[in-house]
Structure formats: C-alpha cells, structure tokens
Amino acid sequence: MSGELVLVTGGSGFLGAHCILDLLKAGYRVRTTVRSAKREADVLAMLKAGGAEPGAVPSFAIADLMADAGWPRAVAGCDYVLHVASPFPPGVPKHEDELIIPAREGALRVLRSARDAGVKRVVLTSSFAAIGYGRLPSGGRPFTEENWTDPAGKVSAYVKSKTLAERAAWDFIAAEGGALELAVVNPVGIFGPVLGADHSTSTEFIQRMMDGAMPGLPRLSFGVVDVRDVVDLHLRAMTNPAARGERFLAVAGDFMTVREMAETLRARLGDAAARVSTRMLPDWLVRFVGLFSAEAAQIVPELGKAKNASNEKAVRMLGWAPRPREDALVATGESLIGLGLLKTSKQRGGKPR
C-alpha cells in the first residue's frame, strides 16, 4: 500500500476531496485532476478543513472530461484510479446531452488512458440512479446490484447520464479493457461533513432545509449514506480482489422520507434546526408547481414511491459497515453550522417557526 499512487478525478468536488483525505491518511501518494489550476487552492482549503496533516497534499493534473488532453499525464505511473468526477448540477440542463456526453465520454477517456498506462484497477463512482429507476422489484423487495435503470424510460437527464456512463464503462472493459480491472460504487444520496462552500446537491438539500428555504416538504423518500463511508467503500473496492468486475450499492439502512430527515435534524440539532419545516405539501400542489418549474417537474414521478436498496453485497463481500443514516444527516448540519454556511436570522427574515 505505502507508496502506491492513486489518481482521484474531480478532487475539487465533495466526494473527491474526501477520497483524497482518506487516501493520504492511509499512506498512499495521491494525484488529482482539476479542470483549472485556479481550483488547486480550493482543494487544499478543503483538505485543511478536513484535518489533513500539514504537508500531506496531492499533486495536481489539469484535465477535463470533455477533452483528451491531460489524461495520459494524469494517469501516468498510477496504480489505481478513483473516477469520481461527473457533472451533477443543482438545476435542470437545457439539453440532456449537457450531462450525458461528459459523463459517458469522460468515463471512457479515463478508462482508455488508464488501460494504456497500465493501471491495475479503476473504481468508477456511478449512482443508485443507474439502478433504481426501472421496474420496482416484486414483493416489496429492495433494489440490488442486479437491477438496472431503463434509460429509455421517463427519467431525468442526470439519471440517464449515470446509467449510460456506467453501461459504457462495462462495455469498454468487456471489449477493449485488456488487463485493466473495473469495480463500481453506486451511492444513494451522499451526506456527511461539508468541507467548504462548494459542496454537493445532496448536502445543499440539508442547507436549504436548515435555512428555512423549504416551507413545505414533498412526499418523497430516498437513500442516505455518509460520504466517509462511501470513500471507505471505494478504497475497499480498489484493493479487494473480490471486487473485480463487481458493482456495489452504498446505502446506510432503509430509505428515509423527507419528513423523517427533517424530524431527525430538529431532534438532534435543536435551535440550529428551528427553521426546518415538517409540514407536508399535498401532491397536487407539487404537480401544479411542476407545470411551471422544471426542477419541481423532475420529482413529480417519484411522489409517494416506496423504494429501498440493499447494502448486503458490500457488507458480505467487502466487510463494509456504514454508520447510521441519521448520523450522516446530523454531520452535514453540524458542518454547515461550523463553517458558517447557514444564513443568519437577519438574512433569513422573519422569526423561526
């Protein structure tokens, strides 16, 4: 382990920065890609916020998912690659190809470069999005790694992009991967300690709840997992021989309703979560708003759907043991408070309710 070089793509992202932290702590040498040298300072600031030892820093390579330039240099000499980078915008793209093309072509660029450089294994960060948007398993059973989303169905651009990117990755390995090995991690909503103002769509959801920007809650449920446990699963998938050619769902327990999430924040964070609403919005209102809001329209098909996913495979094969889902939510809130990323009472306006 000591001295082995790992490339983490997208080191300026929420998951990418946490990957770098854990790899450095474990004694690996780390290189990470950023799209611009301007982002290097952001990565270093997040690592400092995450408690990185002084002097424990990655090297940097400039590379973009949409261009070939930079990738051969980025993977040169690497033993492993964690391909974490992928677009996940908070809004709705004007065209689905804005997400699909970077996700699919970016994954293929990384795999091709890794193969040519003699990398041992790539761990691709996919998503529950590539698993849980097809036909619901019969008998109320949870989704597993055997399930695949149907990209031809009525799914969002993000869901489609993750599905097509992962399919393309497996097809590449089968047809032209050579000695390169692939393992895939499929996380649900990733929460946990935020390291800076630029975090993730999932953690931004908690931020909006705590800021009082969500006066009502839609009838939704989704999976929760802590970012530190997602990183742990990546590292296990990177080195465990049994992980070759496998995909692993990263989920901590049953899915939670949005109301359960709100109640957890209020119960565990006290006054800091006083603006978290527990009021439920009627489905008809969410559907009505969806007529005018593309973001609201995306959640309409999921209203009231009872989904679940199983982590049995990761637990059994890799010894993975995620922390409780409630702890992941609370850690998100605590880090937002600690970094001063919540609006003050004056900025929020009005009184807490």
Which residues are bridge partners to 31 per DSSP?
7, 59
| Angle between the N-to-C axes of helices 258-269 and 325-338, in degrees from 0 to 180, rounded to the nearest 10 | 60
Q: How many CB atoms lie within 10 A of CB 133?
A: 25
Q: What are the residue numbers of the active site? A: 162
Question: Within 13 Å of residue 132, how many CA atoms lie on the same side as its CB?
Answer: 27
Q: What is the 3-state secondary structure (H, E, C) of the chain?
A: CCCCEEEEECCCCHHHHHHHHHHHHCCCEEEEEECCHHHHHHHHHHHHHCCCCCCCCCEEEECCCCCCCCHHHHHCCCCEEEECCCCCCCCCCCCCHHHHHHHHHHHHHHHHHHHHHCCCEEEEECCHHHCCCCCCCHHHCCECCCCCCCCCCCCCHHHHHHHHHHHHHHHHHHHHCCCCEEEEEEECEEECCCCCCCCCHHHHHHHHHHHCCCCCECCCEECEEEHHHHHHHHHHHHHCHHHCCCEEEECCCCCEEHHHHHHHHHHHHHHHHCCCCCCECCHHHHHHHHCCCHHHHHHHHHCCCCCCECCHHHHHHHCCCCCCHHHHHHHHHHHHHHCCCCCCHHHHCCCCC
Structure tokens at 78: 């690497």
Instruction: Provide the CA 132 distance to its chain's centre, in angstroms.
Output: 15
